[in-house]
Copies of this chain bind each other. A is one copy, B any other.
Amino acid sequence: MIAGIELGGTKTVVALAAADGSVLEECRFPTTLPDETLGFAIDWLKERGTPEAIGIGAFGPIGIVPGRANYGQILATPKPGWEGFSIIGALATAFPEARLALDTDVNAAALAEARHGAAKGLDDVVYITIGTGIGGGILTGGHLVHGALHPEFGHLKVPRFPTDEYPGICSFHKDCLEGLASGPAISQRWGVAAHELSADHPAWDLQAWYLAHGILSLLAIVSPSRVIVGGGVSQAAGLHEKINARLLEIAGGYFPTLQGQPFVVPPHFEQEAGIRGAFLLASL
């Protein structure tokens, strides 16, 4: 029995994997306090047997490099009760025989899309999600990128859209990418939620500008073959096309990997990328 846990900032998914890597059975519930959240997932799994392996995709910041003192531990976070909590500790106590594999929720999603989804068969893939925040995962040469902590794309600094004077909503940086282009930034700038804006609202030109600049930074740094943009805010009609057009413009003909294909694409799995990625982590 291979299990997966997707521990998101607002909701958690616990599931069992089918042989083909899809979801056999799952349960979705709100992420509350750590003992309660992990306790619920553990009980759900125990009712179904003893997993031989559990893959976990978790929100960050979190220690994801095995062997480091902070492995499996949630780091500085405004989320009440979570700072210092060890996810690996809780699961190892409940399932001492199970093989545990942890990564960020966005790295898990990147892995699922690269193995079976919108970037199937590619080894150099970036996954970005735009919702309450902006985050991302990276596969390079077939390896997930960790680094000293892990990627935090949302806090990239990008040039401003020429006429945009909105100060930005990030509590650390004001006008980083997340501060200018996350769901809450859109709501605060235009006074309505992203999903209420029509497809021809000027908001989407700004959105495409900021995302294209963030993706250009990714191109210049990790040179992906494809970039997947998902999350609630990405579902606006035509947004991926607008991002591709702006990206080609600002790239100025320099990056050959942009030619001849839609480079920025929507996810294949949408809701399921994280949990499918957790299954894959368990199988690595």
Contact = CB atoms under 8 A, between A and B. Distances in A.
Given A124-B147, A172-B253, A157 B222 contact: no
A52 B94 CA distance: 53
Given A140-B146, A145-B140, A216-B156, A172 B222 contact: no
A148 interface: yes
Contact of A172 (B124, B172, B252): B252
Interface in A148-186: 148-160, 172-173
A210 to B, nearest CB: 11
Contact of A156 (B61, B148, B153, B220): B220
Given A159-B157, A159-B160, A252-B172, A151 B220 contact: yes
B143 A76 contact: no
Contacts of A140: 140, 143, 145-147
A77 to B, nearest CB: 12
A76 B149 CA distance: 35
Interface stretch (A234-242, A254-262, A272-280): A254-262
Contacts of A159: 157-160
B254 A152 contact: yes
Given A223-B147, A224-B148, A173 B213 contact: no
Contacts of A213: 157
A220 to B, nearest CB: 5
Interface string A203-222: 00000000001001111111
Given A141-B143, A141-B145, A141-B146, A156 B221 contact: yes
A150 B140 CA distance: 11
Contact of A256 (B143, B149, B255): B149
B155 A254 contact: yes
Top 4 A-B pairs, shortest CB-CB distance = A147-B223, A172-B252, A148-B225, A148-B257
22 contacts: A61-B256, A124-B146, A138-B221, A140-B146, A140-B147, A147-B223, A148-B257, A149-B255, A149-B256, A151-B222, A151-B223, A152-B223, A152-B255, A153-B221, A155-B216, A156-B220, A157-B159, A157-B213, A159-B159, A159-B160, A218-B221, A221-B221
Interface of A: 61, 65, 75-76, 124, 138, 140-141, 143, 145-160, 172-173, 213, 216-225, 250-257
Given A140-B146, A157-B158, 7 more contacts: A124-B147, A145-B223, A149-B223, A150-B223, A159-B160, A173-B252, A222-B222
